[in-house]
């Protein structure tokens, strides 16, 4: 399966090299429950699957632990206050790390891979399962005209 890729300049390209922006949760919410487009529950399921990949969880754990280690060298005063400072700094670091890692994960090839395997267009959320590929093996999304190589698509996936 040929996946979309990041071209190093802040943009993404489909299987034929055309630029596009990845689908956002806000766009899915705004679209509502239109037939033929990804539902918010399905989008959230893909988001959870991507975030639970080992490398993202590992990064969050390591950076939260690093924040805990940094608080060991901070002058925090008496013991009750020192525990509060450590908890706040470690929690804030873990939360911020999660936000940054989540943004990176949803802009990774893993996100595109999950979207395409489930039969959804990564750019607009249109259902690609009923679209037949053209001669080069790419299915062209009728909504956003993104071209996707859907060789490995699971046409009978039901996320609900």
DSSP string, 4-26: PEE-SSS-EE-TTS-EE----HH
| Domain membership flag for residue 89 | yes
Say yes or no to pLDDT of 2 above 50: no
- Please give the pLDDT value at position 10: 53
**Is residue 133, in this structure, part of any structural domain at all?**
yes
pLDDT per position as a tens digit, 53-99: 777 777 777 877 787 777 777 666 666 666 777 778 778 877 887 77
How much is the average pLDDT of 33-55? 80
Dmax of the chain from CA atoms? 72
- 158 domain residue, yes or no: no
Tell me if 154 is assigned to some domain.
no
**What's the confidence (pLDDT) of residue 73?**
72
- Which residues, in sequence order, are bridge partners of residue 13? 5, 19
Distances in Å between the Cα of 115 and the Cα atoms of 65, 70, 140, 145, 149 are: 32, 38, 15, 16, 12
**For residue 160, is pLDDT > 50?**
no
Tokens of 50: 């991507």
Look at residue 75 and tell me if it is in a domain.
yes
Q: What is the pLDDT of residues 97-134, one digit of tens each?
A: 777 777 776 667 777 888 888 888 888 889 888 888 88
In a domain? residue 110: yes
Assess whether pLDDT exceeds 60 at residue 157.
no
Residue 66 sits in which domain range?
Answer: 5-28+36-149
Q: Is residue 118 part of a domain?
A: yes
Opening angle at CA 138, ends 136 and 141, nearest 5: 145
Number of domains in the chain: 1
In a domain, 157, yes or no: no
């Amino acid at each position: 399966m040929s996946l979309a890729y990041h071209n190093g300049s802040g943009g993404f390209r489909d299987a034929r090299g055309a630029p596009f922006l990845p689908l956002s949760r806000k766009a899915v919410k705004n679209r509502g429950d239109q037939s033929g487009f990804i539902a918010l529950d399905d989008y959230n399921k893909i988001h959870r699957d991507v975030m639970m990949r080992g490398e993202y969880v590992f990064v969050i754990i390591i950076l939260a632990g690093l924040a805990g280690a940094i608080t060991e060298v901070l002058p925090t005063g008496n013991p009750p206050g020192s525990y509060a400072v450590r908890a706040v700094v470690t929690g804030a670091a873990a939360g911020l790390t999660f936000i940054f890692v989540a943004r990176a994960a949803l802009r990774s090839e893993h996100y595109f891979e999950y979207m395409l395997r489930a039969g959804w267009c990564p750019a607009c959320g249109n259902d690609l399962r009923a679209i037949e590929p053209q001669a080069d093996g790419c299915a062209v999304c009728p909504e956003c005209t993104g071209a996707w190589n859907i060789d490995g698509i699971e046409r009978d996936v039901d996320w609900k």
